[in-house]
Amino acid sequence: MLRFFPIVLLASAALAQSDVPQKLIARAESSTAMIDDLRELCDTIGGRATGSPACERATGWGAAKFRAAGVTNVRLEPYTIPRTWLPGTISVEATAPARFTIRAAAAPTSPSTAAPIEAPLIDVGDGSAEAFAKAAARLKGAIVLVHSGEMKTLDDLFAEYMRSPGISAAAKKYGAAAVLLESSRPRGLLYRHPILLGTGLAPVPNAVISREHAGRLARLAERGPVRVRFAMSNRIGGPYRAANVVAEIPGTDKANEIVVLGAHLDSWELGTGAEDNGVNAAAVIDAARAFVQLGVHPRRTVRFVLFTGEEQGMLGSAAYVAQHQAEMGNHAMMLTFDTGSGHTTGFFLNGREELRNPLDAILRAAGVTGASEHVADAIDGTDNFDFLLSGVPNLVANQDAAPYLPDYHAESDTFERVNVKEAQRNNALAEVLVCGFADAPDRPAPRQSREEVEKLIRDTKLEEQMRVFDQWDDFASGRRGWPKH
Ligand SMILES: [Zn+2]
């Protein structure tokens, strides 16, 4: 093999200027390998919450796919999460004035009900502090019903996340027994809605109930007393040994520098995690396969990572960053996609305007159009975040969220939701960018110091969100992201 090495070096001296990007694009847009993998992942393994046997099967599956693609250094990188949360059984039913079964899904991080609760249902409207205060006298021992607007945009979804810890805390404060949250999606659709991110437990049992059942309960409660019976048994355990899947294409003359292409492999399990985020996990595997098939050997090492624990608050990528702390300074770029097969219009620069030019230069050289509407905003919500906190340049694809949102974490996030053409284009974009960043003469931007990261967090107003997502204390104390010196 060694005798081929100089040839590889010559060929790789300027991959971006060669026909390699075009070859990657042509392959990505015509190959069905990624979609075949996705179908297998979704239909034979299915939903894969971290801590479940399905997630373990998925990590083994991912490693086997990398090996079959001929990639080197394939490994599982185990890490420990302090607690697991998996759904068990749930039963919600109205018992008076009418008896009917209520469609419900346990909310992740929710404790079980110690015993079945049968209690008056109190409607607390939108669950604001004022609404709780107004109902205070009736809340002791009650099951509270909280209404939700219909989720139409990412901002709506974000607002749903931001309000949940407060609702649960208010329920606890007023002595309520449990919370029923109205589904933000019509027509009976249920989804997993984490009350907290991280590994803590919500203070009271929470479940999402169908929008139509919430409406019926509310109308009944306007007329008189309503009683509900609620029993839920979640499987709460830990500590648990989870694992990320890592594979590499070693670099040539800058092999000690690393470009990461990552996506999360875990998912919630009501559906089969196709759009969130099986399609992009399959793309990471297929990018590795493409590099091997086309003999692409960039100057820097490309590391393909399938993270787990993402749905619990990016625990897998946090563990990766902690475990690779000694080589974080060698990480030149981290790139991720996490909005299903939504059309990519550009990238989130994650607070780093200086990434715009190198990014555009690669897209231009590859002849890519329609993906240059970059956004300076910083994303705290997927696996880029611990890289951001460590000062590593990182990009998240800015994708059309409209097709993705209705099925987010829901029963309906299944293989048929995936837009094959867009998924193939996203895969092509990922491959071209990874190849470009890994082969460029210079890094796109230097690693930021801790002080610069702190400034970025201030400038992009991330602190409030980090507090809600239970990340702030860990960053402030140096347990997460850049260590404190
Ligand atoms: Zn996701």
3-state secondary structure of 397: strand
Report how far ligand 1's centroid is from the alpha carbon of 287 (Å): 19
Q: How confident is the model at residue 12 (pLDDT cuts 50, 70, 90)?
A: very low
Strand pairing class (394-399; 331-336): parallel
Q: DSSP 3-state assignment of 301?
A: strand
CA 217 to ligand 1 centroid distance, Å? 32
How far apart are the CA of 324 and the centre of ligand 1, in A? 22
2 compared with 484, residue with greater pLDDT: 484
Q: What are phi and psi of 333, to 5 degrees?
A: -165, 145
1: pLDDT strictly greater than 60? no
User: Is the distance from CB of 187 to CB of 213 less than 8 angstroms?
Assistant: no
CA distance between the termini of the chain = 44
Neighbours of ion ligand 1 (CB under 5 A): 276-277, 338
408's CB contacts (< 8 A; 6+ apart) are 157, 191, 275, 276
**Centre of ligand 1 from the C-alpha of residue 252, in Å:** 32
- CA dist 183 to 105, 214, 278, Å? 10, 8, 24
Distance 115 CA to ligand 1 centre (A): 33
Q: Residue type at 252?
A: T
The reported pLDDT for the residue numbered 470 is 85
Ligand 1 centroid to 410 CA: how many Å? 12
Alpha-carbon distance of 484 to 293, in angstroms, equals 43
* Residue 403, preceding peptide bond in cis (omega within 30° of 0): no
* Spatial separation of the C-alpha atoms in residues 375 and 348, rounded to whole Å: 5
Q: pLDDT tens across 219-257, in order?
A: 999 999 999 999 999 999 989 999 999 999 999 999 999
Strands (E), 195-253: 206-209, 227-237, 240-249
**What SS3 class is residue 434?**
helix
Q: 62 C-alpha vs ligand 1 centroid, how far in Å?
A: 17
Give φ, ψ of 96 to 5 degrees.
-160, 145
pLDDT tens digits, 270-280: 999 999 999 99
What pLDDT was estimated at residue 464?
86
The span from the CA of 184 to the CA of 49, in Å, is: 22
Model confidence at 465, pLDDT cuts 50, 70, 90, reads confident
Whole-number pLDDT of residue 78: 98
**CA-CA distance, 91 to 94, in Å (whole number)?**
10
Q: How far is the CA of 270 from the centre of ligand 1 (A)?
A: 14
Q: 3-state SS string over 53-83?
A: HHHHHHHHHHHHHHHHCCCEEEEEEEEEECC
Q: Has residue 10 got a pLDDT over 70?
A: no
Question: Strand pairing partners for 102?
Answer: 92
Percentage of the chain modeled with pLDDT above 70: 97
What is the structure's pLDDT at 351?
A: 95
CA 335, 337, 338, 339 torsion-angle sign? positive
Based on its alpha-carbon atoms, the radius of gyration of the chain, rounded to whole angstroms, reads 23
CA distances from 213 to 91, 123, 145, 217, 231 (A): 14, 13, 11, 6, 17
The Å distance, Cα 161 to ligand 1 centre, comes to 14
Give the largest CA-CA distance in the chain: 84
CA of 311 to the centre of ligand 1 (A): 7
Q: For 452, list phi and psi in degrees, rounded to 5.
A: -65, -35
Which amino acid makes up residue 355? Answer: L
CA 38 – ligand 1 centroid, Å = 15
Phi/psi for 319 (5° steps) reads: -65, -40
Q: Is residue 475 within 8 Å of residue 458, measured between CB atoms?
A: no
Reported confidence tier of residue 14, pLDDT bands at 50, 70, 90:
low
Q: Which two tokens stand for residue 483?
A: 């260590």
For β-strands 100-102 and 84-96, DSSP reports them as antiparallel
Confidence bin at 11 (pLDDT 50/70/90): very low
Ligand 1 center–CA 478 separation, angstroms? 25
Q: Is pLDDT at 165 greater than 70 in this prediction?
A: yes
pLDDT per residue over 39-65, tens digit each? 999 999 999 999 999 999 999 999 999
Q: Give the C-alpha distances (Å, rounded to integers) separating 165 from 205, 210, 215, 398.
A: 12, 20, 23, 27
337 alpha carbon – ligand 1 mean position (Å):
9
Q: Percent of the chain, pLDDT > 90?
A: 92
Q: 339 alpha carbon to ligand 1 midpoint, in Å?
A: 7
What separation in Å is there between the alpha carbon of 271 and the centre of ligand 1?
13
Residue 37, pLDDT score? 98
| Residue from 168, 174, 177 nearest 227 by CA | 177
Ligand 1 mean position to 75 CA, how many Å?
22
Residue 149 is given by DSSP the state: P
pLDDT at residue 2 tops 50? no
* Token pair in block for residue 171: 């329920």
Across the beta sheet with 331-336, the strand order is 72-81, 240-249, 300-307, 254-264, 331-336, 394-399, 344-348
Angle between helices 356-365 and 420-439 (to 10 degrees): 110
Per-residue model confidence (pLDDT) at position 182:
98
User: What pLDDT band is residue 3 in, cutting at 50, 70 and 90?
Assistant: very low
CA of 264 to the centre of ligand 1 (A): 7
Bridge-based pairing state of the strands 227-237 and 254-264: unpaired
pLDDT digits (tens, 9 = 90+) for 315-341: 999 999 999 999 999 999 999 999 999
- The residue to which tokens 């989720």 are assigned: 151
Tens digit of each residue's pLDDT (9 = 90 or more) over 337-371? 999 999 999 999 999 999 999 999 999 999 999 99
C-alpha 176 – ligand 1 centre gap (Å): 32
Q: To 5 degrees, how large is the angle CA 471–CA 477–CA 481?
A: 60
Interatomic CA distance for residues 310 and 50, integer angstroms: 8
How far apart, in whole angstroms, are the C-alpha atoms of residue 204 and residue 295? Answer: 55
- Mean pLDDT for the chain overall: 95
CA of residue 415 to ligand 1 center, whole Å: 15
